[in-house]
Amino acid sequence: MITIFRSIINNQIEKAEGTDLNRDGYIGGEGTESKIENATHIDFNRDGIIGRTPDTYPGGSNPGSGGY
Ligand SMILES: [Ca+2]
Protein backbone atom coordinates (compact mmCIF):
# COMPACT_ATOMS: atom_id res chain seq x y z
CA MET A 1 0.00 0.00 0.00
CA ILE A 2 2.80 2.37 0.90
CA THR A 3 4.61 1.32 -2.26
CA ILE A 4 1.61 2.30 -4.38
CA PHE A 5 1.35 5.64 -2.60
CA ARG A 6 5.03 6.38 -3.14
CA SER A 7 4.70 5.38 -6.78
CA ILE A 8 1.86 7.87 -7.27
CA ILE A 9 3.88 10.62 -5.60
CA ASN A 10 6.92 9.72 -7.66
CA ASN A 11 4.93 9.87 -10.88
CA GLN A 12 3.48 13.27 -9.98
CA ILE A 13 6.99 14.61 -9.40
CA GLU A 14 8.26 12.99 -12.60
CA LYS A 15 5.53 14.75 -14.61
CA ALA A 16 6.30 18.06 -12.93
CA GLU A 17 10.06 17.72 -13.41
CA GLY A 18 9.98 15.91 -16.74
CA THR A 19 12.59 13.50 -15.41
CA ASP A 20 12.49 9.73 -14.95
CA LEU A 21 13.41 9.78 -11.27
CA ASN A 22 12.91 6.08 -10.53
CA ARG A 23 14.46 5.03 -13.85
CA ASP A 24 11.60 2.72 -14.81
CA GLY A 25 11.75 4.13 -18.34
CA TYR A 26 8.59 6.22 -18.02
CA ILE A 27 8.10 9.83 -17.02
CA GLY A 28 4.99 9.84 -14.86
CA GLY A 29 4.56 6.08 -14.87
CA GLU A 30 3.77 3.52 -17.53
CA GLY A 31 0.03 4.08 -17.49
CA THR A 32 -2.87 1.75 -16.79
CA GLU A 33 -3.66 1.03 -20.43
CA SER A 34 -0.08 -0.03 -21.10
CA LYS A 35 -0.07 -2.32 -18.07
CA ILE A 36 -3.30 -3.97 -19.22
CA GLU A 37 -1.86 -4.48 -22.71
CA ASN A 38 1.29 -6.04 -21.26
CA ALA A 39 -0.78 -8.31 -19.03
CA THR A 40 -3.13 -9.48 -21.79
CA HIS A 41 -0.87 -9.09 -24.84
CA ILE A 42 -3.76 -7.44 -26.67
CA ASP A 43 -3.27 -4.09 -28.46
CA PHE A 44 -6.37 -2.38 -27.10
CA ASN A 45 -5.60 1.13 -28.37
CA ARG A 46 -4.50 -0.19 -31.78
CA ASP A 47 -1.27 1.79 -31.86
CA GLY A 48 0.58 -1.33 -32.99
CA ILE A 49 2.43 -1.61 -29.69
CA ILE A 50 1.75 -3.95 -26.79
CA GLY A 51 2.25 -1.74 -23.79
CA ARG A 52 4.04 1.54 -24.35
CA THR A 53 7.48 2.50 -25.50
CA PRO A 54 9.59 3.97 -22.70
CA ASP A 55 9.83 7.74 -22.36
CA THR A 56 13.52 7.43 -21.69
CA TYR A 57 16.22 5.03 -22.79
CA PRO A 58 19.15 3.45 -20.98
CA GLY A 59 22.18 5.68 -21.13
CA GLY A 60 20.32 8.93 -21.50
CA SER A 61 17.00 10.68 -21.02
CA ASN A 62 14.80 11.98 -23.80
CA PRO A 63 12.76 14.71 -22.10
CA GLY A 64 11.31 16.09 -25.31
CA SER A 65 9.22 13.01 -26.08
CA GLY A 66 7.05 12.72 -22.98
CA GLY A 67 3.88 13.46 -24.90
CA TYR A 68 2.06 15.00 -21.98
CA1 LIG B 1 9.58 6.78 -13.95
Question: How many angstroms is it from 1 CA to the middle of ligand 1?
Answer: 18
The protein residues having their C-beta less than 5 angstroms from ligand 1 (an ion) are 20, 22, 24, 26
Regarding pTM above 0.75, the answer is no
Q: Please state, in angstroms and rounded to a whole number, the distance separating the CA atoms of residues 26 and 18.
A: 10
What is the model's pLDDT at position 18?
Answer: 93
Q: From residue 19, how far is each of 32, 46, 53 by CA, in Å?
A: 19, 27, 16
Nearest to 61 by CA among 20, 13, 16, 29: 20
What is the model's pLDDT at position 55?
Answer: 86
Question: How many angstroms is it from 49 CA to the middle of ligand 1?
Answer: 19
Domain ranges of the chain: 2-57
What is the model's pLDDT at position 2?
Answer: 85
Q: Please state, in angstroms and rounded to a whole number, the distance separating the CA atoms of residues 29 and 27.
A: 6
Please give the chain's pLDDT, 68 residues, in tens. 788 899 999 999 999 999 999 988 999 998 889 999 999 999 998 989 899 888 876 554 455 554 44
Question: How many angstroms is it from 52 CA to the middle of ligand 1?
Answer: 13
